[in-house]
Amino acid sequence: MSEIQEKELKVGNQHILYDGSMGNVKLTSWPYLFESYFLEQHQLVTGTAQGRGTTYFFDWESHKLVLRHYLRGGVVGKFNPEFYLNTKLEKTRPYQEWQVLCELQKIGLPAPKPAGMRIVSGGLFYTADLLMHQLEGVMPLCDLLLQGELSVQRWQKVGQVIRQFHNEGVYHDDLNCHNILLRDDEVFLIDFDKAEIRSDSKWKTKNLDRLLRSLNKEAGLAKEAGRAFNFSGSAWDELLQAYRG
Please give the positions annotated as active site: 174
Q: What angle, rounded to 10 degrees, do the helices at 204-224 and 152-167 form?
A: 140
Closest CA to 42 of 24, 29, 55, 28: 29
> What is the SS3 assignment for 83?
coil
Closest CA to 101 of 157, 33, 172, 158: 172
One DSSP character per residue, 39-65 reads HHHTT-EEEEEESSSEEEEEEETTEEE
In degrees and rounded to multiples of 5, residue 5 shows phi and psi of -90, 90
d(CA 155, CA 83): 39
Asked if residues 134 and 111 have their Cβ atoms less than 8 Å apart, the reply is no
Q: Report H helices in the chain.
A: 30-33, 36-41, 74-79, 93-107, 141-147, 152-167, 204-224, 233-244
- Give the bridge partners for 7, in sequence order: 18
Angle at 189 between CA 184 and CA 192, to 5 degrees: 160
